Structure 1
């Protein structure tokens, strides 16, 4: 634990962000090496001027190893650093991965495929249901769910994930300052099944300036970020932007255009985010999760694997014409109106009617009342 305390010391120095820490580590190998260095050596490192160099040297006299050790043990907090084998692999890939993460729980499964689910604190009944059920279904697949444990959609995502598997909560505060306070019991449950993590040392309160760093970790830990509901100025849109910067996928649940909570998600879709109408829309973008047949009566979600059905569909796909493939790929397990298909596919009404009939005869799609079409089970 002593070596970890050098990292804790380094992480507490004001003005020493992840990039500057990495520059120091490239030269001194580890945090203990920085501790043992002198001012001349430190100020020779790129980005470390005399002012910051002096602050680093001065901080040594203020850091109490024993006091920090006692505090970490008091709150049951563990520390993982950039050089540890259990440091999350995906997070290590981003440009400014945090040098230190404080956590409670278990990180042994954190490198399994993960998706983040985020959204507005001001939610609708629809958003709550989707966040909860989507998280549950994905964890049943073996996917970890990552979120920020904020009020609203984040909370429901964690709760749904706990019903099916593992979830990780990223905080914008120290672990001794759970926010919002009403989620203290939820934090304990998450720590039993997964972990709560933060880049902020003990004693750090949930100031607004902390949350961009929290959001970068949420997106950085995930193959993709799913935004369930978001107002125009929602913090979850920042998480989506960060996911794009990190080269990760961004998904959005479409919403009622009359609801404020749909403005952000609908705008994301307009800007190129992947529209999610069922879990297939997520799985097809993520190679690690391919081969799952998914359907649900209520929400278009069912994760029962059916290889025989998949094999049959793959064989039929090879026999389809180009027009048939275009129409088939546009459909999902959620029913689509004929007019919607006509407006989104470069076929005239007669051609579309013909192709739909051909696909229905093949047993690949089915027609519902009101001239609605969906993929067949």
Structure 2
């Protein structure tokens, strides 16, 4: 069983440095990165324009721009510990992850690269798992592995580590919340070492030296669902991180599977609610395999690479256009297409103003082309 993938592309050394500089600069996240490259045609051109954009967006001071020396040092240090910084379309970058609208422009990949291109199923659940939950996670991970799927999970205590350990021989991917040298929890450094030595891999979008913070775990969760055809939630209490993974899976068009549990066990409250909301009930691996089988043969079409971009139109917003766009923004998300229609100015002008605001730290981007003022 194999997943259809497009022909791979490859950044030049100079492009990789430019991409890393841009994504490591202040107020530039994955969506902003894509908007900047689409608008200006290349990461190098976007870097040149960052200071002016931030100032026009109302920034009191220009945010830090990653230097060439810093980017070169990160690339060198990553290579020393076996981490490759890969762009969407390059071999070893999970093909399905490249399809989400906030896919990492550069992903740190460590281990055997071909496991990243296998069809994957995410398995996540409670850190404080029950014995029955741990046993089921092991059973379904083993059976999915034997059926040709790699298992993606977050290296956390409980369900995650159980799924990783039983799928070492068949393929597993640890999705990290911090840098590759900042493993959380620290007690799972041996598990990560076993994952790498067994021929599997680990991924992270964070730089080396970055210790995971609370806000980094939801960002990590979107990668677990992003690499996978679907996500199995084994145990999840109300308001748990596993439910955040399920929400991302829904937003990304992935299958959501939930294992039913006792209504008396709070660790099953979230999964039981997912089933009520339409998640596929799972009691064995065949439930997952039968649901994702029709998706397996569909080709994965990646977004354009930088070299495919058309030269950007450099539309300078007029002062009254900028004021009109800003006046329509507020704390509630609004669609970019709606802004274009309401302001009656060109899409390029609207996107330029949004970039200015974002680089000034005044704008937040949401899924589905939605934006709001901070």
Normalising by structure 2, what TM-score? 0.70
Alpha-carbon RMSD: 2.5
CA distance in 2, matches of 1:205, 1:199: 12
Pairing partner for 2:164 from 154, 158, 183: 158
CA distance in 2, matches of 1:248, 1:242: 8
Distance 1:67 1:289, change over 3 A: closer
1:123 corresponds to 2:160: no
Pairing partner for 1:205 from 211, 215, 230: 211
* Contact 1:39 1:53 survives alignment (8 Å): no
1:171 corresponds to 2:183: no
Pairing partner for 2:284 from 273, 278, 283: 278
Deviation at 1:116, TM superposition (A): 0.2
Deviation at 1:48, TM superposition (A): 8.6
1:134 corresponds to 2:140: yes
1:49 corresponds to 2:54: no
1:227 corresponds to 2:237: no
Deviation at 1:39, TM superposition (A): 5.0
Residues 10-47 of structure 1: CA distance to partner in whole angstroms, max 9, x if unpaired? 22222111111001121344434434x3458x739xx9
CA distance in 1, matches of 2:144, 2:112: 20
Which has the greater radius of gyration? Answer: 1
Structure 2 residue runs of 5 or longer lacking an equivalent are 1-12, 297-374
What is the aligned partner in structure 2 of residue 103 from structure 1? 109
Q: Which moved more, 1:185-194 or 1:76-85?
A: 76-85
* Contact 2:225 2:245 survives alignment (8 Å): yes
1:5 corresponds to 2:17: yes
Distance 1:19 1:48, change over 3 A: farther
Structure 1 residue runs of 5 or longer lacking an equivalent are 291-377
CA distance in 1, matches of 2:127, 2:187: 14
Matches within 5 A, 1:1-377: 1-35=13-47, 37-39=48-50, 43=53, 49=57, 51=59, 54-55=62-63, 58-61=64-67, 63-82=69-88, 84-163=90-169, 165-192=170-197, 193-288=199-294
Deviation at 1:85, TM superposition (A): 4.7
Deviation at 1:145, TM superposition (A): 0.6
* Contact 1:43 1:53 survives alignment (8 Å): no
CA distance in 1, matches of 2:124, 2:223: 13
The alignment partner of 1:15 has SS state of coil
Q: How many matched pairs?
A: 283
Give the ranges of 4+ consecutive aligned residues of structure 1 lying more than 6 Å apart after TM superposition. Answer: none
Distance 1:52 1:219, change over 3 A: farther
Deviation at 1:53, TM superposition (A): 9.8
CA distance in 1, matches of 2:42, 2:117: 23
Q: Which moved more, 1:223-232 or 1:190-199?
A: 190-199
What is the aligned partner in structure 1 of residue 364 from structure 2? none
* Contact 1:136 1:162 survives alignment (8 Å): no
CA distance in 2, matches of 1:78, 1:49: 35
The alignment partner of 2:115 has SS state of coil
What is the aligned partner in structure 1 of residue 332 from structure 2? none
Residues 217-243 of structure 1: CA distance to partner in whole angstroms, max 9, x if unpaired? 100111111001111121001100110
CA distance in 2, matches of 1:214, 1:173: 9
* Contact 2:140 2:284 survives alignment (8 Å): no
Distance 1:136 1:183, change over 3 A: same
